[in-house]
Amino acid sequence: MKRIVGLPIFFCASLALAHQPVMDMAPRWSGGYGFQTRYESVISDRLELDGRTTGNPLGLRSDSQIQWLEGVYTFHKSVRVTFKLPYEDRHKRLLRDGEVRNAQASGLGDLILAVPLKRYRNFMTHTDNLAFNPSVTLPTGNTGGDVALGRGTVDYGLSVSYAREAIQTFGLWDFWTKLHTKGADGKIKGNIIGFDMNIGIYPYQNSLKEFSSLLFWGTHIRRQLKDKLTGGALDGNTGGRWIEMAPIFVVLYKNLAFRIEAYFPVYRKFNGTQLVSDYSFQTGIGITFPSLTPF
């Protein structure tokens, strides 16, 4: 059983990369800015061995509740900066030095900064944009104790995305990668390659009241390499491939946005023995200045 110590929880980390503040619909005007708070809940209490469910007699689990504060400022409609800062409350039941322990930690996680560069085009029936999004993760989270909230590293990310919005439809396609460096524990977390897709419709719009709703389907595809231990050896209980999907509902009212979503795995193949979750749940509320609505 010692081979399952320090099992990674993938879904918590992956979803943090999937959002482009605020509500994927940042202000497009010079001087525009906005903020979003997003609550994320991930409970991992099942063990999988090489992609198959196995017993969990010790009751190992990880419970992560994360409150994200996210913001955006647009210097120009094609140039903006964003930040994502998590406050995390983590509870774990883990195996350490041959005995089961309950551990808990609360506090700030690692800060993510990005500089999305977008090129917009306007047509008679729709608008679209192509974006190049470099990012950096800074070590603002605590790395000590049984439950670390940060990695103690400077990590790098890059994504290329395309978004299209018409009167009744909306779509976002995003290819991205995240590159990790050596952490405070001497490990190098496996690099991640991902693809995100959100496709949806506006089922209701009222331009006079500046109110609309957005219903769409989200898809995440991930591949993560194995972690490297001190000396360059690979950790066989890390890394893998997975796909998750979610119904997502957003309400837009004037410059406010409300969002709810729940992601469920449809395919996963993790290496070795790892703790996994059956779903993750998120809610959020955001505000932008000037108006966020599509009218």
Q: Is the peptide bond before 276 cis (omega within 30 degrees of 0)?
A: no
**Can you give the pLDDT at residue 5?**
36
**294 closest CA partner among 190, 164, 174:** 164
Write the pLDDT tens digit of every residue in 157-216: 999 999 999 989 999 999 999 999 998 888 999 999 999 999 999 999 888 888 999 998
Q: What topology is assigned to 2-282 in CATH?
A: Porin (2.40.160)
What pTM was estimated for this model as a whole?
0.88
Write the pLDDT tens digit of every residue in 82-124: 999 999 999 999 888 778 989 999 999 999 999 999 998 989 8
**Can you give the pLDDT at residue 31?**
81
Stretch 42-55: mean pLDDT: 87
**Distance from first CA to last CA of the chain, Å, rounded?**
57
> Rg for the chain (alpha carbons), in Å?
20
Domain ranges across the chain: 2-282
Q: Please state, in angstroms and rounded to a whole number, the distance separating the CA atoms of residues 252 and 23.
A: 10
HSE-CB at 84 with a 13 A cutoff on CA atoms is 22
Which residues, 6+ apart, have CB-to-CB distance to 76 below 8 Å?
30
Per-residue CA distances from 282 to 8, 75, 144, 173, 198 (Å): 20, 29, 27, 20, 15
Tell me what the pLDDT averaged over the chain comes to: 86
Residue 8 has pLDDT above 60, yes or no: no
